[in-house]
Structure 1
């Protein structure tokens, strides 16, 4: 008989200590409501371009349904390395320096598990993507939040990092363009961070999944391309955001051969390989998908300007995002907490967004809005938010 067994006591304390994703709670509620406009989940509203989908269809017709090498199709790894050379003049070796993963989420997870031993500390600037701290904890590491301040445009500085480094600090995780703030870092700012990493002999995990989504004349700077950073950096990227391929679950990691070999060990025992159909589609995306990607980025830029102007006119102070597809308005003028604002807005105006504290304690007083949705929906959401804000005052 098992009726009286307390199964919760048999679950790992580490898992117990990790909170559920703060992004999903409000959307579970919203899913049961009518007439909800979602500015929440970070997923493009575009369908994967047909040429990319067609390559997958063709692959299926040709019977490409087998495993691939653990590290991924060599053809895809060659294209990934060619992209890095073309865009950033960084030389990677396809056979030893690349691992194709099941989304960037897997790449992040196994990068953490590869470098962190129990008790190792990793510096994580906040606000940040919800998985960062959880993956560090699951790897046995100790995530150390480093608040990024609005006064610095949500950028992180060496001085901020110095205040949190200890003799247990082993790594630094940065994610720019940033989710949830839309902040980007200049080359000068990144060089300053790279010098900090060299000074303290840190490994840097650089999550650049939004690297292709920059606006207003900003150009993405690849961290691994900075002086002395290529071998010290684990570069993460993928296809979900720029190519509207979220459901394909295809990402990759680039680093020195030793790091990639170690990551591959974990990958081969947990995932074996990324799906061959998704890898075939990714090859097509890199070869012929740039024109589709640029068209989507241009549309995001229009939406970015619309939502920034709209929320500002609604009376909310906003940092103007320069990358990704999120905006992070300050809602403290309403007198509500982040969770109160998100919950009441959902219930009264049927607009779903994410409370800022889901991305770290320093996100309190903000909410995250995604503009990866249509202009019509953004316009209606702004009108509803403005109505809500007026009634809060």
Structure 2
């Protein structure tokens, strides 16, 4: 019997590059290899092991599709305290099984076949394929484009713009003026602004994070996707949420009912009961990793390696400079020669093949700095300038 054939659409979708890279790392580590892992899209925090004792028996069963009511109320209050934008916990927020599903369901709910979605590069690796899976067309802009350049890409088929703020992989935050420009575009052309804000806690201490919702408090055209998984240091728990106008939340709830029913109930009950304590425990560690990220940026700069501007998240996007290798070749050679794992820049868009993504969340600082030295050494060893000399 012939093997089952996938649909043409699914067959055209590649693996998520960062996850593919980390699966390779897991396999190498299982064989005993010591890998300096700068490719993981998460931060390792000291998070107390959860205890489910004392939780209501309902924690073991389905919850409301929109999420455990107490958690929705806590998240609505959390978003309002950070942004000043009110959220009705009963109809303007839905808890999801991670922010990826929130993004995908949003795209599925708003796109018609052939609709275009503008995505500035460097883009998060799943944005274009999620758009394609929803029968849309991703339209990317090169990494050096500005928000003003987005207007030139708007056509009669444009339906949405996706922005990641703070940004994976550069750590950059959008300014108030940039956000205002995006909102004017959305209002003028009837677009949906999808703001992926899963790193909203990962800004330098004392700096406020400005949510896209600030400039659209009535949620006329803005959808905010966020994640407790990232901001609470519990990425494996797969708990995210989406904030939008109640009319869109109703549509998203239908999709969630048919896909996963609800987010993981027992974890959501635990998070609701321990919301403030977990955040208080995690926030100091977030600041430590952000400070570490910016020290690593200085270490790159000291070796003459520049990174795209940014000061938030736990990522950097250093340039390969004069290396003759493209980003895939570089990442492969770095892993083979130095046992250091990064993600090839090409994964973040066609204009990004002269970069690699470095994450500082999963290794202690001494190993991070060893990884920096290995990257800088390989750039120098493969430099066209060195060969010319």
CA shift in 2, pair 1:57/1:368, >3 Å:
farther
| Displacement of 1:291 | 2.0
| Displacement of 1:216 | 6.6
Alignment-derived partner of residue 114 in structure 1: 109
SS of 2:305 mapped into structure 1: coil
Q: In the aligned structure 2, how far is the partner of 1:342 from the partner of 1:332? A: 14
| Contact kept? 1:127, 1:359, Cα under 8 Å | yes
Alignment-derived partner of residue 37 in structure 1: 36
| Contact kept? 1:250, 1:282, Cα under 8 Å | no
Which deviations, in whole Å up to 9, do the C-alpha atoms of 1:305-363 show, x marking residues without a partner? Answer: 22112222233112342211100001032121111110111111110000001011111
Alignment-derived partner of residue 211 in structure 1: 200
| Displacement of 1:226 | 0.6
| Contact kept? 1:315, 1:389, Cα under 8 Å | no
Counting only pairs closer than 5 Å after superposition, residues 128-207 of structure 1 correspond to structure 2 as 128-149=123-144, 156-157=146-147, 159-207=148-196
Counting only pairs closer than 5 Å after superposition, residues 332-351 of structure 1 correspond to structure 2 as 332-351=321-340
Alignment-derived partner of residue 316 in structure 2: 327
| Displacement of 1:217 | 5.1
SS of 1:7 mapped into structure 2: coil
Aligned pair partner of 1:383 in 366, 373, 379: 373
| Contact kept? 1:103, 1:251, Cα under 8 Å | yes
| Contact kept? 1:218, 1:322, Cα under 8 Å | no
Alignment-derived partner of residue 387 in structure 2: none
Q: In the aligned structure 2, how far is the partner of 1:322 from the partner of 1:218? A: 11
Instruction: With the length of structure 1 as denominator, give the TM-score of the two structures.
Output: 0.91
In structure 1, the gaps of 5 or more residues are none
SS of 2:322 mapped into structure 1: helix
Q: How large is the RMSD of aligned CA atoms in angstroms?
A: 1.9
| Contact kept? 2:218, 2:245, Cα under 8 Å | no
CA shift in 2, pair 1:343/1:246, >3 Å:
same
Alignment-derived partner of residue 7 in structure 1: 4
| Contact kept? 1:249, 1:278, Cα under 8 Å | no
Instruction: With the length of structure 2 as denominator, give the TM-score of the two structures.
Output: 0.92
SS of 1:333 mapped into structure 2: coil
Counting only pairs closer than 5 Å after superposition, residues 28-67 of structure 1 correspond to structure 2 as 28-30=23-25, 31-32=27-28, 34-50=33-49, 53-54=50-51, 56-59=52-55, 64-67=59-62
Q: In the aligned structure 2, how far is the partner of 1:26 from the partner of 1:240? A: 20
CA shift in 2, pair 1:299/1:21, >3 Å:
same
SS of 2:117 mapped into structure 1: strand
Q: Quick check: 1:392 aligned with 2:382?
A: yes
| Displacement of 1:227 | 4.3
Q: In the aligned structure 2, how far is the partner of 1:28 from the partner of 1:209? A: 22
In structure 2, the gaps of 5 or more residues are 384-389
User: How many residues were matched structurally?
Assistant: 378
SS of 2:231 mapped into structure 1: coil
CA shift in 2, pair 1:44/1:284, >3 Å:
farther
| Displacement of 1:383 | 2.7
Which deviations, in whole Å up to 9, do the C-alpha atoms of 1:165-199 show, x marking residues without a partner? Answer: 10011111111111111111111211111111111
| Displacement of 1:141 | 1.1
Alignment-derived partner of residue 86 in structure 1: 81
Q: In the aligned structure 2, how far is the partner of 1:66 from the partner of 1:312? A: 52
Counting only pairs closer than 5 Å after superposition, residues 353-392 of structure 1 correspond to structure 2 as 353-373=342-362, 374-392=364-382
Q: In the aligned structure 1, how far is the partner of 2:294 from the partner of 2:321? A: 22
